């Protein structure tokens, strides 16, 4: 975060870069230069006035524990890789760049094995007792129904070939009609719904494909949105359903976008924490187990 003197320091470096400490006799300064001294002095004072305004604005940029009200949130869910495998992978260059310039959590965890209950947890605040990847029909509240109840849209953008176990809304009676094909993801990002999930297929989510393949896919499909989000009060969340079946179930989760303080954060979070954060941003009541956890805090810039 900017310090109070940063603007003045930048100004001083700009004005006096390369200057020597030699003093000049007034008569040694050419008349043409002396004639312009009032204008030069006025220009310098103008720059200092601008610096004062910049300083005032910078001083008002406070760190906040409360998430801002974003215009758009996009959540991407990848598959079956531990935090260490992603964070240390040379071929995950885009994911690592998001981590470098966003808020990456070193203690983020899935809540179950196998995949499907993790998607249920992220979408509805509960695994609903599911311990497999079979088809289930559930009539419980979820993020889509909560958004609809608040008069807001939710869309699940699904790439062709993604199975039902990765598309949680397909299992909920109160979330019918929210799914769209991935090619419906708008190029005009301002027309996105307030909250959307993006689900790659098995080749592009690291389930069957490689880390490098998924990383390239993510850059190609969400890189434009990520860059746009920074300047347009929007947020990208990239997370994983579960790790590669280690006992800890530690996964890679990064939040990237406007008003994010970049860094590595050691706060322990899980799918319920991410859901609770989305709910708080949208101003909707927490669902299921998300009501028992805290929203993500300490990573935001804002009043």
Q: pLDDT tens digits for the chain (303 residues)?
A: 333 333 333 333 333 233 333 333 444 444 444 444 444 444 433 433 433 333 333 334 455 688 999 999 999 999 999 999 999 889 999 999 999 999 999 999 999 999 999 999 999 999 999 999 999 999 999 999 999 999 999 999 999 999 999 999 999 999 999 999 999 999 999 999 999 999 999 999 999 999 999 999 999 999 999 999 999 999 999 999 999 988 799 999 999 999 999 999 999 999 999 999 999 999 999 999 999 999 999 999 975
- In the prediction, which pLDDT does 63 show? 55
Q: Is the dihedral of CA 88, 90, 91, 94 positive or negative?
A: positive
Q: To 5 degrees, how large is the angle CA 122–CA 222–CA 99? A: 70
- In the prediction, which pLDDT does 173 show? 98
- In the prediction, which pLDDT does 247 show? 79
Q: Which pTM was predicted? A: 0.80
Question: How do residues 192-238 score in pLDDT, each as one tens digit?
Answer: 999 999 999 999 999 999 999 999 999 999 999 999 999 999 999 99
- In the prediction, which pLDDT does 246 show? 82
- In the prediction, which pLDDT does 303 show? 58
The torsion angle over the Cα atoms of residues 165, 287, 155 and 129, rounded to 10 degrees, is 10
Question: How do residues 41-65 score in pLDDT, each as one tens digit?
Answer: 444 334 334 333 333 333 344 556 8
Q: For residue 269, what are the β-bridge partners?
A: 108
DSSP, collapsed to helix, strand or coil, labels residue 288 as helix
Nearest residue to 255 via CA among 241, 242, 236, 272: 236
- The count of residues in the chain is 303
- In the prediction, which pLDDT does 19 show? 33
Strand spans (E) along the chain? 63-64, 72-78, 103-109, 154-158, 179-181, 195-199, 234-240, 250-257, 263-265, 269-270, 300-301
List the alpha helices (DSSP H) in 60-155.
83-87, 93-101, 115-124, 143-149
């Amino acid at each position: 975060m900017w310090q109070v003197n940063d603007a003045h320091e930048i100004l001083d470096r700009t004005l006096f870069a390369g200057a020597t400490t030699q003093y000049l006799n007034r008569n040694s300064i050419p008349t043409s230069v002396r004639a312009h001294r009032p204008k030069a002095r006025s220009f310098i004072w103008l720059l200092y006035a601008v610096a004062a305004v910049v300083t005032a604005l910078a001083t008002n940029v406070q760190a906040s524990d409360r998430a801002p009200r974003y215009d758009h949130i996009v959540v991407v869910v990848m598959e079956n890789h531990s935090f260490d495998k992603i964070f240390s992978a040379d071929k995950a260059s885009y994911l690592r760049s998001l981590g470098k310039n966003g808020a990456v959590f070193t203690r983020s965890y899935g809540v179950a094995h196998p995949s499907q209950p993790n998607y249920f947890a992220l979408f509805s605040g509960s695994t609903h007792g599911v311990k497999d990847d079979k088809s289930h029909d559930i009539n419980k509240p979820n993020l889509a129904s909560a958004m609809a109840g608040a008069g807001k849209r939710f869309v699940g953008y699904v790439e062709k070939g993604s199975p039902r176990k990765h598309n949680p809304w397909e299992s909920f009676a109160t979330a019918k009609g929210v799914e769209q094909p991935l090619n419906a993801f708008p190029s005009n990002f301002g027309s996105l719904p307030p909250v959307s999930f993006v689900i790659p297929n098995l080749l592009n989510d690291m389930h069957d494909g490689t880390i490098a393949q998924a990383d390239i896919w993510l850059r190609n499909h969400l890189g434009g949105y990520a860059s746009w989000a920074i300047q347009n009060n929007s947020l990208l969340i990239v997370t994983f359903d579960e790790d590669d079946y280690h006992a800890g179930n530690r996964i890679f989760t990064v939040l990237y976008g406007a008003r994010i303080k970049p860094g590595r954060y050691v706060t322990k979070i899980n799918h319920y924490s991410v859901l609770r954060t989305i709910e708080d941003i949208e101003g909707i009541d927490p669902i299921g187990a998300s009501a028992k956890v805290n929203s993500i805090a300490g990573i935001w810039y804002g009043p």
